[in-house]
Amino acid sequence: MPTPPPRVPLLSLAEALAQLLATVLPLSVVEELATLDADGRVLGADVVSALHVPPQDNSSMDGYAVRVLDVTAPGVEMPVSQRIPAGSSGEPLQPQTVARIFTGAPIPAGADAVVMQEECVAVAEGGTARVQVNVVPKPGQWIRRAGEDVASGAVVLARGQRLGPAELGLAASIGMASLTVLRRPRVALFSTGDELVMPGTVAPEDMRPGAIYNSNRFFLSSLLRRMGCVVTDFGIVPDRLDATVNAMREASAAHDVILTSGGVSVGEEDHIKPAVLALGSLDLLQIAMKPGKPFAHGKVGSAHFIGLPGNPVSSFVTFLLLVRPFLLRLQGVTDVAPVAASLRADFDWLRADKRQEFLRVRRNAQGGLDLFPNQSSGVLTSAVWGDGLVDNAIGQTIQKGDAVRFLSFAELLA
């Protein structure tokens, strides 16, 4: 009777992620990109402000700029000496007068407070505009100080920052028409297996026994593009060693990462492992997580190789928890850990497992979490129905009312 292969020890998810991230050297090639086109990209250089924002003291309200010393009691009446709309520059404020001022307009020299218009009453007297100020202002009220948002010389966005709408707006506020960003990762996506069929090539009623539609190819391609990657889809590679080696060799010459799904379980017969080993190195990991136990990473030439499990939910979850932080780190992002929220479980999960479990759940109207009834790794509907994962520790049961660790798809898919 043949001796069974030695059992591969299970790594914790944290250990596997640390091992994977230790192999990453962030991309160094940068390019200049118009700020309007830089959404989702990662900064390749610090962004330093050459000016204060706001550039000078300005009003945060429509109202009247005053000298506090001139308003000693409610009801003081003074003439309006000037009108200062946003985008214009006023004259120094003369004592015992007020300046009509609008939101965003510069504070005139001599003024040290703004009284909002709702606390003033306009008075017409002999053709001269006058205002009755009905409150005693405090120095500095309703004034936005120069540099209050950004000081000249400050680093407003650091290298490695992933750019979103707020970051682009901040860059524009200091006059940055273009930004230095890191080159996007180039990823080759492989599908292997004679059982795979592309949607549209065979009608459902004509599918041969054992054939399945290639769903992983679609969601992996989408996930990669969401991560800012340039994706080359190699399609379904013929299930032969020579074809797999040739495709791997071609991909490694022009890509930073090669990503596959399926064929990475210990002892499984496929052509991915021998092809990778023929051209580079491979580590087969067994991770104490559910779904997503089998995982592989290595090198093919200078390209990183990552092999995901074949079951769709396993592949989906493993991508979010391992490949996503890997790709962020490859792009120079330092903080790659997802932010978890503590929410109430409105379900029981009484089967403690030896692996760290990621349960598909959905937030309900009562502020708690509902559990999808079928947690199988092949049920992709659970990922469509759910809006996140419960990160359940090894050996942990859950009872209704317990606080659990929730990872939102909204963040993991951003």
pLDDT tens digits, one per residue of 68-105 = 999 999 999 999 999 999 999 899 999 999 999 999 99
**Residue at 347 is within a domain:** yes
Span 14-41, mean pLDDT?
95
Residues 236 and 306 occupy one common structural domain = yes
Same domain, 206 and 326: yes
Residues 314 and 193 reside in one and the same domain = yes
Place of tokens 């928890």: 321
Within a domain: 403: yes
Residues β-bridged to residue 261:
191, 308
Residue 336 lies in a domain: no
Tell me, rounded to whole angstroms, the distance of Cα 14 from its chain centroid: 20
SS3 of the chain: helix, strand, coil, percent, to 5: 20, 35, 45
**Same structural domain, 311 and 363:** no
- Domain termination site, one of 182, 205, 235: 182
Counting the structural domains of the chain, the total is 4
Question: Is beta strand 356-363 parallel, antiparallel or unpaired with respect to 289-290?
Answer: parallel
Q: Are residues 178 and 197 in the same domain?
A: no
pLDDT value of residue 35: 98
Flag whether pLDDT at 368 surpasses 60. yes
Whether the pLDDT of residue 346 is over 90: the answer is yes
Tens digits of residue pLDDT in 122-144: 987 767 899 999 999 999 999 99
Domain limit, last residue, from 304, 330, 356: 330
Range of the domain at 129: 58-144
Please state, in angstroms and as integers, the Cα–Cα distance from residue 200 to each residue in 213, 273, 405, following that order: 9, 30, 40
pTM of the model: 0.84
Looking at the fold, whether 297 and 200 belong to one and the same domain comes out as: yes
- Shared domain for 319 and 241, answered yes or no, is yes
Q: What is the average per-residue pLDDT within 342-366? A: 97
Find the CATH number of the domain harbouring 174: 3.90.105.10
Say if residues 192 and 272 touch (Cβ distance below 8 Å): yes
The CATH code of the domain that includes 139 is: 2.170.190.11
My answer on whether 208 and 290 are in the same domain is yes
User: Is 366 among the domain residues?
Assistant: yes
Q: Measured between alpha carbons, how far is 30 from 184 in angstroms, rounded to an integer? A: 9
Regarding whether 115 and 84 lie in a shared domain, the answer is yes
pLDDT in tens, 134-182: 999 999 999 999 999 999 999 999 999 999 999 999 999 999 999 999 9
For the stretch 242-279, pLDDT in tens is 988 999 999 999 999 999 988 766 555 578 889 999 99
Whether 324 and 216 map to the same domain: the answer is yes
- Whether 335 is covered by a domain: the verdict is no
Contact (Cβ atoms closer than 8 angstroms) between residue 401 and residue 409: no
Both tokens assigned to 140: 């500095």
64, 174: one domain: no
| C-alpha–C-alpha distance, residues 40 and 52, integer Å | 26
Determine, yes or no, domain membership for 178.
yes
Let me know whether 192 and 294 are in one domain.
yes
The pLDDT assigned to 221 comes to: 95
261 vs 22, more confident: 22
Show which of 289, 310, 330 is a domain's final residue.
Answer: 330
The answer to whether residue 116 is domain-embedded is yes
CA separation for the pair 204, 200 (Å, rounded): 9
Determine, yes or no, domain membership for 227.
yes
